[in-house]
């Protein structure tokens, strides 16, 4: 009997994951086809077992059932780990020794969205692999079989494993904001084992996100956390995105500690135990971070933006720590090298418990720079990379001081500016940084000059 071919909506096969709008661009039939294609690739790799998890979205259980049907029909055995954060699925691939895993999650996207994050043969499944999955489905190149299915919830083992690396108890007062995402149960189980005072916000899993959107990189989404921290006199606050792989932190005064600042603080503990080690950060990170890593005796490494790209580079360099401005932070010293926001929060508390400085002190010790917010302006997918190529050629002709690791990051005076093409949206992304206001205006002017010379339209800064 011929295998039915399947064509995905062209917008859902993204660079780092598969993601769409349920009932518009993403349907259970897509989930089943993903299972067929992913499972068929596993069979060809000589692998037999895959772990499957899902987040708290209303559409996730139905998509999970369809995915499992597709995986089993390809001949692989499925282990269902149940509902939990994306990092719990990553953990399950180690704990259950499957090497393969699929997480059904819409991450921090609106309630109507959902998607799939994947691991195959112990490595992130992204980019060309996702495109090949789409091609396999379109051609109907599926294996046939009847895989087994079993349930093996790993939540308690996941929490216990994270707590293994918490060695320095303290009486800190912490506010945790789960944003009604899927981290709620894991956070409750974790803090019940910790000393100190713990106040939980929005730990009820509700995919309508009734209180605020679960994206800790947006200042507006941290306002309830800031008010609570200041209101009860807590030492700090920790927030999570919808699926628990990105973190946000605020100090006792309500100051937001951005991803690069947090990575600089965490680098202290890691480099004390791993002198001269490489620490990776993405091209959006402040110069302050790269200088701080060097000052602490580490080897700063600038790399491309994207959690899958960072994880891959981290494994290549055996770096013990890496991170992104977006709040993806990865520990590879005593942990597994994937992005796990709850684990990062525990490591931060562990570090604070090991010394006398507060999170406020550690933030104040970092030099201050002035940054623009991340600026995104429309550029069609078919034009955005060509636009970056044009400006790269102009910079080379001008003898400018720049890096082209991911787009262009141009040194300008005492600061820098960045232009890169988004891998997930039809936009160009820009950012500027300098030591003071006057210098920042000069950096902006330099960027606008090059954008104009490359015929790139940019809104007023």
Residues serving a catalytic function are: 107
Distance CA(313)–CA(303), nearest Å, equals 8
Residues ≥6 apart with Cβ < 8 Å to 224: 177, 201, 202, 211, 212
Give all strands (DSSP E) within 398-443, no chain letters: 402-403, 408-412, 415-421, 427-434
Question: Closest Cα to residue 54, out of 20, 80, 21?
Answer: 80
Helices (H) and strands (E) in the chain, counts: 14, 22
Distance CA(93)–CA(338), nearest Å, equals 11
DSSP string, 195-225: SSEEEEES-S--TT-SSS-S-TTSGGGGHHH
Reading phi first (left if > 0) and then psi (alpha if -120 to 50, else beta), residue 180 is in left
- Cα angle 362, 368, 374 (rounded to 5 degrees) comes to 110
Q: Beta strands 370-371 and 375-378: pairing type? A: unpaired
DSSP state of 286: -
- How far, CA to CA in Å, does 175 sit from each of 202, 235, 332? 11, 8, 26
- How far, CA to CA in Å, does 131 sit from each of 10, 38, 445? 10, 12, 39
Residues ≥6 apart with Cβ < 8 Å to 48: 42, 76, 77, 147
The answer to whether the CB of 233 falls within 8 A of the CB of 252 is yes
């Amino acid at each position: 009997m011929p295998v039915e071919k399947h064509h995905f909506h062209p917008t859902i096969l993204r660079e780092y994951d598969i993601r769409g709008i349920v009932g518009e661009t993403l349907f259970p039939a897509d989930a089943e086809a993903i299972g067929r294609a992913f499972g068929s690739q596993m069979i060809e790799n000589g692998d037999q077992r895959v772990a499957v998890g899902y987040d708290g979205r209303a559409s996730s259980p139905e998509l999970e059932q369809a995915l499992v049907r597709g995986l089993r029909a390809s001949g692989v055995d499925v282990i269902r780990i149940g509902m939990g954060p994306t990092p719990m699925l990553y953990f399950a691939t180690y704990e259950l020794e499957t090497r393969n895993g699929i997480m059904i999650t819409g991450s921090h996207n609106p309630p109507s969205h959902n998607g799939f994050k994947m691991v195959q043969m112990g490595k992130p499944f992204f980019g060309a692999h996702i495109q090949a999955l789409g091609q396999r489905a379109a051609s109907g190149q599926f294996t046939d079989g009847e895989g087994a299915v079993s349930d093996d919830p790993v939540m308690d083992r996941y929490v216990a494993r994270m707590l293994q690396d918490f060695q320095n108890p303290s009486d800190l007062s912490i506010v945790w904001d789960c944003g009604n995402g899927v981290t709620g149960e894991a956070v409750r189980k974790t803090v019940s084992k910790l000393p100190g005072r713990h106040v939980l916000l929005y730990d009820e899993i509700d995919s309508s996100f009734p209180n605020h959107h679960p994206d800790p990189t947006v200042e507006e989404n941290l306002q309830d956390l800031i008010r609570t921290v200041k209101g009860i006199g807590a030492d700090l606050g920790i927030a999570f995105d919808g699926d628990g792989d990105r973190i946000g932190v605020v100090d006792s005064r309500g100051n937001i500690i951005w991803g690069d600042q947090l990575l600089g603080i965490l680098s202290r503990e890691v480099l004390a135990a791993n002198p001269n080690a490489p620490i990776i950060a993405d091209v959006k990170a402040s110069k302050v971070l790269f200088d701080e890593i060097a000052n602490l005796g580490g080897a700063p490494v600038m790399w491309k933006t994207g959690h899958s790209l960072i994880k891959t580079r981290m494994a290549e360099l055996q770096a013990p720590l890496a991170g992104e401005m977006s709040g993806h932070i990865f520990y590879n010293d005593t942990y597994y090298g994937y992005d796990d926001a709850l684990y990062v929060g525990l490591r931060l508390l562990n570090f604070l418990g090991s010394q006398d400085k507060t999170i406020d002190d550690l933030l104040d010790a970092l030099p201050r720079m002035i940054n623009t917010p991340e600026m995104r302006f429309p550029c069609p997918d078919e034009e955005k990379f060509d636009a970056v190529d044009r400006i790269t050629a102009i910079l080379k002709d001008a003898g400018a001081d720049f890096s082209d690791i991911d787009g262009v990051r141009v040194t300008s005076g005492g600061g820098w500016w960045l232009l890169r093409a988004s891998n997930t949206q039809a936009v160009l992304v820009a950012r500027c940084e300098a030591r003071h206001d006057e210098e920042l205006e000069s950096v902006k002017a330099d960027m606008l000059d090059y954008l104009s010379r490359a015929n790139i339209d940019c809104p007023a800064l």
